[in-house]
Amino acid sequence: MQKNRRSLSFVAGLAALMLSGEAPAFDFNENVDIEAGSESGGESTVNGSIDVGSDAIVNGALETVNGSIRIERNAQVGNVETVNGRIRLAAGVTAEEVASVNGSISLDEQATADSVSVVNGKIRLEPGAQVASGVGNVNGEVVITGAEIGGDLSTVNGDVTLTENARLRGNLVVEEPDGLNWNGDRREPRIVIGPGARVDGEIVLEHEVELFISETAEVGGVTGVMSMDDAVRFSGDRP
């Protein structure tokens, strides 16, 4: 998947940026704390976490290699990127690109981002969260609960659940593993389109999955190695 492959190049790019001394407010082995209500031009570290207080404004990127990034309520930030670590956007946060290589990403209620991508990790969007373009991972669960994605949602080996009136305006794509993301595990991902969920585009399946679609969900179609006839329709909250 293009977005997650770009995340791999982020590892080398971030390391080069930090070693060049061009990264903003660079700290090599320190945790970074941005106080609530303050303003910053961006922060970077290598072996440390980054915490952004409520209502803070960061006019630049937040970058770390080995550490988590936590952004508290109603803060405004630019790109948010880590290699090994979790990223959490609390309620009402606005961000640009949000990316991790190995770590989970979560957006709480009413948080917004331009894009969300992980290579190995879980993605979770809570009610009212919005991602303007794409969401994707290679390995890891994706749970979209009452949130909206403006572009495609893609995975290779991950389970995907859309529920509680979640809306995907693009396609849901399950890609065939290649040399970059093949781990020898041929288990079939579990794809659940839950009650009230809506996929404006198609569910595009490049390899077989376990596909469940609620009787109250709306899907533009199923293409690839499976069809709508292969989906298990269900009533109730879950299959």
C-alpha separations of 23 from 70, 81, 101, 127 in Å: 19, 13, 19, 34
Kindly report the pTM of this predicted structure.
Answer: 0.88
Strand, coil or helix: 228:
helix
The secondary structure of residue 229, as a DSSP letter, is G
Angle at 145 between CA 144 and CA 150, to 5 degrees: 55
Contact 47, 65 (CB under 8 A): yes
> At 209, phi and psi to the nearest 5?
-135, 170
Compute the distance between CA of residue 108 and CA of residue 2 in angstroms, rounded to an integer: 25
pLDDT at residue number 27: 55
The secondary structure of residue 36, as a DSSP letter, is T
91 or 2, greater pLDDT: 91
Q: Is the pLDDT of residue 23 over 80?
A: no
Task: Give pairs for 232-237: CB < 8 Å, separation 24+.
Answer: 236/195, 237/163, 237/194, 237/195
Compute the distance between CA of residue 196 and CA of residue 136 in angstroms, rounded to an integer: 22
Summary mean pLDDT of the chain: 89
Q: What is the pLDDT of residues 137-165, one digit of tens each?
A: 999 999 999 999 999 999 999 999 999 99
Residue 200's pLDDT band, with cuts at 50, 70 and 90, is very high
